[in-house]
Amino acid sequence: MNMRRRSVLQLGVASLALAGCSGTKVDTSQPAALDMAPVVASDDKVPIERPEPLIRYQFTCTAADGSLIGKFSSLEEVWASTRYMHVTDCQVVYVGSGPHILTPEERAAVNAAVAAGAAPGQDSALCLLIIRACTRTDHRTLAASLAAYGIPVVKGALTLAPLAPQAAQLTRWLKTAVPR
């Protein structure tokens, strides 16, 4: 056992011993008040169900051989996929209920792309292209794929997802990209 583990173990044992000596009884049979507290309507004290998160997009990601990697409902799900590094293409479609109204983050990304030279007026299509650029681009075709997206879309992608797994690659590409 290395020194660090031993110290952590000793601290844990000491904490348990001190808690036992304090005489304070802690009821652990019930979850803490902050753990999963139900939402209660103020007038009738009946718990209200929390709504399911809204699914706005569907990502269909494939491998180099065209095989399906998976279908996802968010960028975070795409990035967290155990097969993320095998993704060579992701198609993105809006599947939300009602018209495609951009979130403030999406609006900022579209505005950044328009400020960088993207054509205004097609906000929904531009947003989908920006989101697609945030997924994953195959490293073998990275330069060509990013050139096809163009500088405005890549700048929009970095605005929308500055911590995306391939953000460093997008940033590096921008430094060498030649405007069209």
Number of structural domains (the chain) is 1
**Does any domain span residue 4?**
no
Residue range(s) defining the domain that contains residue 168: 57-176
Q: Could you tell me which residues are beta bridge partners of residue 59?
A: 72, 92
Encode pLDDT of 119-131 as tens digits.
Answer: 999 999 999 999 9
In a domain, 138, yes or no: yes
Residue 122 is assigned to a structural domain of this protein: yes
For residue range 114-169, list pLDDT tens digits in order: 999 999 999 999 999 999 999 998 888 999 999 999 999 999 999 999 999 999 99
Cβ atoms of 175 and 148 closer than 8 Å: no
Residue 104 domain-assigned (yes or no): yes
User: 63 in a domain, yes or no?
Assistant: yes
CA atoms lying within 13 Å on the CB side of residue 53: 5
Q: Is residue 156 part of a domain?
A: yes
Residue 34, pLDDT score: 38
The residue type found at 152 is P
